[in-house]
Amino acid sequence: MLSFFWSRHFLLSRAFLWPLFIVNFLGTIYGYIWYEDQLVATFNEHPLWRLVFVPDSPTASLFFTIALLYLLFPPKSEYGMVKMGRYIIEALAVVCSVKYGIWAVSMIVAGAWQGAELNWQHYMLMASHLGMAFEALLFLRFMKTGIVSLVIATGWLLLNDTVDYTFGVFPYLARELRDDLSAVRGFTYGLSLFSFLAAVMTWRFRKKA
């Protein structure tokens, strides 16, 4: 019985995909609103091009939301740039969701470990971000993406990490973690590589869908 809920028939049914799309779409909007203060501060204090590197989790959610649209409305034909665009978006959906899903939970837990106070929003964020990582790996078997696009997507993650910690536009951290910035930076880079490995392993060993 439980195997039905992991099956292609259930996961790709429109009765499941539409609610999943709506949840991710609304979560993406909420995520950008969550980053509003940092986006405004970056706009006022940094060159405009750095804005794109600020909202990490909602951008990951945006990529996955677009990937769901490919499943809801499969293109009748794919070639050239259209095919390449889909491969890269789906790769970004996977590696970004895994990376930032785990990262957000890790930072909340690390802050709490050092004494930061937790409220209901933190628990909501942990649940939603773990869901991001889980759903990305779960749906990878239905995506068209491949190893080359996963490498490109990981390159984006590493570029994002470099911009974040070179120019100070990384997501706001709990006060208790501000003296651990070098450790956070190292963890962030490592998590980018882990996300790539997790995606590649899932891609290689996925069952034929």
pLDDT of res. 64: 98
pLDDT of res. 205: 81
**pLDDT tens digit string along 143-176?**
999 999 999 999 999 999 999 999 999 999 999 9
Q: How confident is the model at residue 47 (pLDDT cuts 50, 70, 90)?
A: very high
pLDDT of res. 1: 64
Q: How confident is the model at residue 68 (pLDDT cuts 50, 70, 90)?
A: very high
55 Cβ contact list (under 8 Å, min separation 6): 31, 32, 35, 38, 39
pLDDT of res. 63: 98
**pLDDT tens digit string along 119-143?**
999 999 999 999 999 999 999 999 9
pLDDT at 209 over 50: no
Structural domains of the chain, count:
1
Span 47-57, average pLDDT: 97
Q: How confident is the model at residue 98 (pLDDT cuts 50, 70, 90)?
A: very high
pLDDT of res. 142: 94
| Residue 95 phi, psi dihedral angles, 5° rounding | -70, -35
pLDDT at 97 over 90: yes
Burial of 36 (0-12, 13-18, 19+ CB in 10 A): exposed
d(C-alpha 171, C-alpha 162), whole Å: 13
Structural contact between residues 184 and 173, judged by C-beta atoms closer than 8 angstroms: yes
pLDDT of res. 156: 98
pTM of the model: 0.94
Q: How confident is the model at residue 7 (pLDDT cuts 50, 70, 90)?
A: confident
pLDDT of res. 79: 72
Span 90-117, average pLDDT: 96
pLDDT at 207 over 60: no
Domain that includes residue 69, residue range: 2-205
